[in-house]
Amino acid sequence: MTTVVLVIHIMVAAALVAVILWQRSEGGALGIGGGGGGGGGFLTGRGTANLLTRTTAILALCFFVTSILLTFMSQQRAGPSGSAFDRPAATAPAAPSSDAPASAPAEAPRGGILDRLQ
């Protein structure tokens, strides 16, 4: 189920990027992207803006819904353990054995979050 939602999420994200890039530029940056061209076409003027705006809103809603769904599904799989920062630190290493040389420095106790990542 997670794989299906993840694939849908990626497809919605790609479609959202494409629809946003198709929209007409408001600022006319560098003199490009302002539309142009005359004549009556199928998607011109206000009709294009309304269609792309609605499509963007629908895709954004789908993106948020799939994001929330993926979050809930990952929480169910991981269980109620919480964050890695909430877990107690690992126990300190055992005391050095008596056969260790006396000149060897004692190792500082470890167990921080960075030590667990190694």
Of the listed ranges 37-41, 87-91, 109-113, the least confidently predicted one is 37-41
Cβ contacts of 60 within 8 Å, gap of 6 or more: 16
Which uninterrupted H or E stretch holds 79? none
pTM: predicted TM-score of the whole model, two decimal places: 0.52
Average pLDDT of the segment spanning 56-61: 95
Q: What is the mean pLDDT of residues 14-41?
A: 68
Is the confidence at residue 2, as pLDDT, over 80? yes
Instruction: Kindly indicate the confidence band of residue 51, based on its pLDDT and cuts at 50, 70 and 90.
Output: confident
- Among 25, 23, 19, smallest CA distance to 61 is for 19
